[in-house]
Amino acid sequence: MYLDKSYPTAVFCIIATEFCERFSFCGLRTILSLYLRNILLFSENAATVVYHIFIMVCYIVPMVGAVCADIYFGRYRTIRNFAIIYLIGNILMCIAAVPTIDISPLAFSALGLILIAIGTGGIKPCVAAFGAEQFNLPAQKEMLLHFFSIFYFTINLGGFVGMTLTPILKKAVSCFGDDTCYALGFGFPAALMILSIFLFIVGKNVYKLKSPKKKVILEFFKCGWYALVEKFRTMKRSDHWLDNARGKFNVKLIEDMKIVSAILLLYTPLPIFWSLFDQQGSRWTFQASHMNGNIMGTQITPDQMQVVNPAMVLILIPIFDRIFYPCFSKINILENSLHRMAFGGIIAGTAFLSAGILELALETTYPELPRRHHASMNIMNTLPCDLKMSHSHSSLQTIDSGELVRIKNMMCNNFSTYRLAVVAPLQCDDIRFHNHKFDLSAVCIEQQIDSVLIGINENNEIQAYVTDPVDFKKSLSGTPRVRISYIKSSDYFHNVTVTLKGTSGLEDMYFVQDSPSSSLSESAYMEVPQGVYECIVSSNEEKHLFEKHFHLAYGGVYSLVIRGSRGEIAFAKLYTMSVPNTVNILWQIPQYFLISVAEIMFGVAGLEFSFTQAPRSMKTVTIAGWYLSVAVGNFLVIIITQLNMFRSQAHEFFLFAILIVADMMLFMEMASNYKFVQMIDTPTSTSTIFLTEEVLPFEEYYSDEDNGEQ
């Protein structure tokens, strides 16, 4: 079954299992930030923090998985047991997303995410090592090296399919009265996890199973602690600090630990790379929500843009593996995995430089929010004539009928009251004023943009109606947001209803409160699909008071202002508070291309380095250390997000670009001092000797299991 020229059958079972697991995880991760923002109602910053905490835990737990595999259960049973925990977490997420079940969605979601993080984390350090164990070394050394590219290809294929289908399922199906179905979005990954466990267990009879003969990790920590204590106790000089453990611990263990400590030391600069890479699911998704996703009539949602990364990786891995690397090897460039990792890290920096430049372009479309100790005010003239207005912050200016004028950066500590002097003609179209001068007042709140609607009351006097603060935040999904403000100038209409009817048949209805005359009534912000909407106003007295068509564009934030007056709708206008997304979402492709190239050079090379350089007894530990660097990277994102150092997101992107370049320079300096461990052929087909400066005696730490349970 294990021919030197053919891949072991067991490898295909493991690869199929990994495909399903990645489908499940990436599908869930793709819609997670939207779920946190839109269903659990987290802010963008809070959703970013929760997202990266989840990813961080996913990459801390691998150390626990490594301990379980190398000390207690072996890799097969560790993968199986953690996969079951993973499945339970998937099921809890699905239940949490069902609103008809009387449970706390926040509590169930939190528990589900914790179990998923534990499950996927426990699996991570074991799968690649378990697959690599199925090869006969050194006879199948070349196949082993190609296995890591195939393994990484499988990870990205599963991720690509999951990231493509899961958002489609969530969006295409309506359930529980909502236009999205997160229960299905989380339920389908749960089904794939069931398939993953089934495929893994089915392949048990063809696996080469190993069980630990010694508690290597325990010996590792004992030896390390003893060596450190002896070094500081005796202050004896030695070639390596671990040499202080000679005589107390096995020479082979000490030599293996020297190799592992050198590898782990090289991992210390790596978290910066992962702090960049994992922002695809948070900061880059939020950036996409500010862009126009219309491509040839098809609407691309922000979470679907994450598919670009695994799609590009799938295309680029064979190109790099079969064309670029062989060509580079001929001219002695990028010959080893450390060179590739360093170059990949620098390319990741260019990806964030590209993201920062794009963000600068997007910022020109963002509303200008007031600074500290300042406020701004929108003045909207709903009267049929032009007005002249002045206040302490500005000179006399004309406000045309229906016009919006924004007064920016008004001095405001906490809150301030401003007096507005309004001058109107005595005859304002069909309205006749007894007095053409009016003094109005409005309250401004610090770092807020308030809106003042100029209308009339039942006594034909000009009156200022102050709305709730304008919320300029675009929806995370990119759908337009609209708020309706209705000015009731007289007590003529009752039970007024404002209906927005889309061309797709979707209707949103707002019921105006039956309050006393001369009052303002407002709706909450409503998210509706983009398109043309028919606005229909009706009441008990008149079923069809008013009708007008408005266009709501992708990413726009709107205020629909309506004024009723004595038997008719005297004014109706749609004001744009935040301009629609004008920059096309395809402009994110350059940064996704660069991060994909960086991932191939950094990720594949890193996995290969982690496995091929580690002693056989500690391969799972080094891979767990590799994943731990991912956790630290996500922790860095959380810290920088919480510090909130920049008003501009572009500046934060540039900071990450600078950090990764400086980090890779440090990494290259450290890598230049690393001595590679090489595999050499032995007379047997099942043993490998590691060669450093001297040939070390090989000692088996694992023994073959039978196919039964221990």
In this prediction, residue 678 carries a pLDDT of 64
**Does the pLDDT of residue 43 top 80, yes or no?**
no
> Mean pLDDT throughout 505-518?
74
Identify the residue with better confidence: 55 or 178. Answer: 55
Query: 70-74, 415-419, 679-683: which range is least confident on average?
Result: 679-683
**Does the pLDDT of residue 702 top 60, yes or no?**
no
In this prediction, residue 687 carries a pLDDT of 37
- DSSP state string for 162-198: HHHHHHHHHHH--BTTBSS-HHHHHHHHHHHHHHHHH
> Mean pLDDT throughout 48-61?
84
In the block, tokens 């890598």 appear at 671
Distance CA 303, CA 393 (A): 44
Distance CA 105, CA 40 (A): 8
**Within 10 A of 296 (CB to CB), how many other CB atoms are there?**
4
As a dihedral over the C-alpha atoms of residue 319, residue 320, residue 326, residue 332, rounded to 10 degrees, the angle is: 150
**Does the pLDDT of residue 684 top 60, yes or no?**
no
pLDDT band at 705 (very low <50, low <70, confident <90, very high): very low
pLDDT band at 591 (very low <50, low <70, confident <90, very high): very high
Query: 16-25, 189-198, 435-444, 587-596: which range is least confident on average?
Result: 435-444
> In the chain, pLDDT over 70 holds for what percent of residues?
90
**Does the pLDDT of residue 74 top 70, yes or no?**
yes
pLDDT band at 511 (very low <50, low <70, confident <90, very high): confident
3-state secondary structure of 344: helix
> Mean pLDDT throughout 578-589?
89
Sheet containing strand 497-502, edge to edge, reads 507-511, 497-502, 531-538, 546-552
Q: Decide: 53 and 190 in contact? Cβ < 8 Å.
A: no
Please, is 706 exposed, middle or buried when counting C-beta atoms within 10 Å of its C-beta (0-12, 13-18, 19+)?
exposed
Write the CB contacts of 559 (distance below 8 Å, at least 6 apart in sequence).
451, 467, 470, 482, 483, 484, 485, 574, 575, 577
pLDDT digits (tens, 9 = 90+) for 454-475: 888 878 888 888 888 887 777 6
Distance CA 64, CA 212 (A): 16
3-state secondary structure of 134: coil
Mean confidence (pLDDT) of the chain: 80
In this prediction, residue 681 carries a pLDDT of 40
Q: Rounded to 5 degrees, what are φ and ψ at 676?
A: -70, 145
Distance CA 17, CA 196 (A): 5
Of the candidates 629, 518, 681, the residue with the CA atom closest to the CA atom of residue 63: 629
Identify the residue with better confidence: 551 or 477. Answer: 551
Write the CB contacts of 376 (distance below 8 Å, at least 6 apart in sequence).
368, 369, 370, 406, 407, 408, 409, 410, 444, 448, 449, 450
Write the CB contacts of 103 (distance below 8 Å, at least 6 apart in sequence).
95, 96
Cis peptide before 138 (omega within 30 of 0): yes
In this prediction, residue 115 carries a pLDDT of 93
In this prediction, residue 214 carries a pLDDT of 62
Sheet containing strand 462-466, edge to edge, reads 404-411, 374-381, 449-456, 462-466
| CA–centroid distance for 540 within its chain | 48
Positive or negative, the CA dihedral 409, 412, 414, 418 is negative
In this prediction, residue 516 carries a pLDDT of 67
Q: Decide: 279 and 637 in contact? Cβ < 8 Å.
A: yes
Query: 46-50, 215-219, 345-349, 499-503: which range is least confident on average?
Result: 215-219
In this prediction, residue 696 carries a pLDDT of 32
Q: Decide: 351 and 275 in contact? Cβ < 8 Å.
A: no
pLDDT band at 179 (very low <50, low <70, confident <90, very high): low
**Does the pLDDT of residue 276 top 70, yes or no?**
yes
Write the CB contacts of 653 (distance below 8 Å, at least 6 apart in sequence).
283, 352, 353, 355, 356, 359
Distance CA 385, CA 429 (A): 6
**Does the pLDDT of residue 148 top 90, yes or no?**
no
Positive or negative, the CA dihedral 114, 117, 120, 124 is negative
Write the CB contacts of 198 (distance below 8 Å, at least 6 apart in sequence).
none
Distance CA 154, CA 607 (A): 14
Write the CB contacts of 109 (distance below 8 Å, at least 6 apart in sequence).
35, 40, 92, 93, 96, 97
Write the CB contacts of 218 (distance below 8 Å, at least 6 apart in sequence).
71
Angle 108-112-118 (CA atoms, 0-180°, nearest 5)?
Answer: 150
In this prediction, residue 393 carries a pLDDT of 63
Query: 1-10, 49-58, 121-130: which range is least confident on average?
Result: 1-10
pLDDT digits (tens, 9 = 90+) for 623-666: 777 878 888 888 888 888 777 777 788 998 999 999 999 999 99
Q: Decide: 175 and 181 in contact? Cβ < 8 Å.
A: yes
How large is the C-alpha radius of gyration of the chain? 32
Distance CA 276, CA 653 (A): 9
Domains by residue range for the chain, with CATH: 9-212+250-365+583-704 (1.20.1250.20), 369-470 (2.60.40.2890), 472-580 (2.60.40.1120)
pLDDT band at 177 (very low <50, low <70, confident <90, very high): low
In this prediction, residue 5 carries a pLDDT of 58
Identify the residue with better confidence: 393 or 50. Answer: 50
Q: Which residues pair with 463 in a beta bridge?
A: 455
pLDDT digits (tens, 9 = 90+) for 212-240: 656 677 777 788 888 888 888 777 777 77
Write the DSSP symbol of residue 392: T
Distance CA 373, CA 375 (A): 7
**Does the pLDDT of residue 595 top 90, yes or no?**
yes
3-state secondary structure of 38: helix
pLDDT digits (tens, 9 = 90+) for 312-357: 888 888 888 788 878 877 777 777 888 889 999 999 999 999 999 9
